[in-house]
């Protein structure tokens, strides 16, 4: 196989694995959104069934019903995120293995499976975070119900605000959790696999690529294309050092909702190429 052929196959497979990681995030976000929309529908039905005179509402029982509806979505959402984290972790490993294999380097017989204790810790943390979303939404819904009981707003206004809490606040926070945490699993696994591969693959490095999002971070765009040895951090212009995008050791402002990627890089195979997360 010529260097040109290796380069082309390497780049094609790298692009395919990038898209696979993005697809996992989108699919998981869609499933979580479906759960929250179902909760919204059930809560709206409960509110619609209340007496038109808010003074006849049984506030405590109403709060209990809504809390139950939201709690029913906790376990399915946690399960979906757990599956998404595992899929992202495996996709991160494939981001290293598959392009190298396409270029003629088979790691399967040389490298051990990654230690998954980091993945287990991510799963526990993410489960707690997604459950916290529904808990906070429930508390804010309770505030709206209390305002209605005090005559500060009509039942119709309360229903409008409750719907907004689920669709806007709840879904926005859930999407942030999915993007950030699944992205962390993807990048952490890729970094760990690269550290393994670097010991047996001469010239193995990593390259930072920007997300292509409309409102991306200046510093992340600034280092687009930066190449580092696998065991060295990327250097942002503000002095922050990150081993990989969404590195949890970095400041939260550099981590949350980041869509950048760290790609396997072989200087004699790779040529700079723009990509977008879509």
SS3 per-residue string spanning 63-76: HHHHHHHHHCCHHH
* Residue 233 in domain: no
* Residue 226 in domain: no
How far from each other are the two terminal CA atoms of the chain, in whole angstroms?
Answer: 32
- Pick from 245, 265, 262, 116: nearest CA to 201: 265
Q: Residue 206: phi, psi to the nearest 5? A: -135, 155
Classify residue 47 as exposed, middle or buried by CB count within 10 Å of its CB (0-12, 13-18, 19+): buried
* Residue 245 in domain: no
pLDDT value of position 45: 93
* Residue 274 in domain: no
Please answer whether residues 190 and 244 qualify as being in contact, where contact means their C-beta atoms are separated by less than 8 angstroms.
yes
In the predicted model, what is the mean pLDDT of residues 170-176? Answer: 91
Report the alpha-carbon distance of residue 67 to residue 90 in Å, rounded.
35
pLDDT range class, residue 272, cuts 50, 70, 90 = very low
* Ordered alpha helix ranges (H), 199-244: 218-222
- Of residues 270 and 54, which shows the higher confidence score? 54
Token code pair at residue 32: 């979580």
pLDDT value of position 115: 87
pLDDT value of position 271: 52
In the predicted model, what is the mean pLDDT of residues 226-248? Answer: 96
* Residue 270 in domain: no
* Residue 33 in domain: yes
Residue entry with tokens 């139950």: 68
In the predicted model, what is the mean pLDDT of residues 175-182? Answer: 94
Report the alpha-carbon distance of residue 129 to residue 174 in Å, rounded.
9
The rounded mean pLDDT for the chain is 89
List the domain range (segments joined by +) for residue 187: 3-202
Q: SS3 helix, strand, coil % of the chain, rounded to 5? A: 65, 5, 30
| Tally of domains within the chain | 1
Please answer whether residues 239 and 206 qualify as being in contact, where contact means their C-beta atoms are separated by less than 8 angstroms.
no
In the predicted model, what is the mean pLDDT of residues 228-251? Answer: 96
* Residue 195 in domain: yes
Please answer whether residues 240 and 255 qualify as being in contact, where contact means their C-beta atoms are separated by less than 8 angstroms.
no
- Pick from 184, 162, 175: nearest CA to 245: 184
* Residue 96 in domain: yes
- Pick from 115, 122, 263, 100: nearest CA to 187: 263
- Of residues 113 and 180, which shows the higher confidence score? 180
- Of all residues in the chain, what percent carry a pLDDT higher than 70? 96
């Amino acid at each position: 196989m010529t260097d040109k052929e290796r380069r082309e196959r390497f780049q094609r497979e790298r692009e395919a694995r990038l898209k696979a990681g993005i697809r996992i995030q989108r699919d998981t976000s869609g499933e979580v959104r479906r759960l929250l929309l179902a909760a919204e529908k059930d809560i709206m039905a409960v509110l619609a069934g209340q007496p038109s005179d808010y003074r006849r509402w049984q506030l405590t029982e109403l709060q209990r019903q809504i809390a139950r509806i939201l709690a029913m979505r906790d376990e399915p959402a946690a399960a979906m995120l757990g599956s998404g984290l595992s899929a992202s972790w495996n996709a991160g490993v494939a981001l290293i293995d598959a392009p190298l294999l396409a270029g003629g380097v088979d790691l399967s017989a040389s490298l051990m499976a990654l230690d998954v204790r980091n993945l287990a810790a991510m799963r526990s943390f993410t489960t707690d975070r997604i459950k916290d979303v529904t808990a906070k939404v429930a508390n804010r819904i309770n505030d709206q119900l209390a305002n209605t009981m005090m005559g500060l707003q009509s039942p119709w206004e309360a229903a409008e605000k409750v719907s907004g809490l689920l669709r806007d606040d709840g879904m926005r926070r859930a999407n942030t959790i999915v993007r950030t945490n699944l992205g962390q699993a993807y990048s952490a696994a890729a970094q760990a696999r690269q550290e393994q591969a670097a010991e047996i693959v001469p010239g193995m490095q990593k390259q930072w690529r920007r997300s292509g999002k409309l409102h991306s971070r200046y510093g992340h765009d600034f280092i687009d294309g930066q190449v580092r040895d696998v065991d060295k951090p990327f250097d942002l212009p503000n002095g922050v050092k990150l081993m990989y995008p969404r590195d949890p050791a970095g400041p939260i402002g550099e981590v949350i909702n980041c869509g950048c990627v760290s790609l396997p890089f072989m200087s004699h195979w790779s040529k700079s190429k723009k990509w977008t997360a879509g």
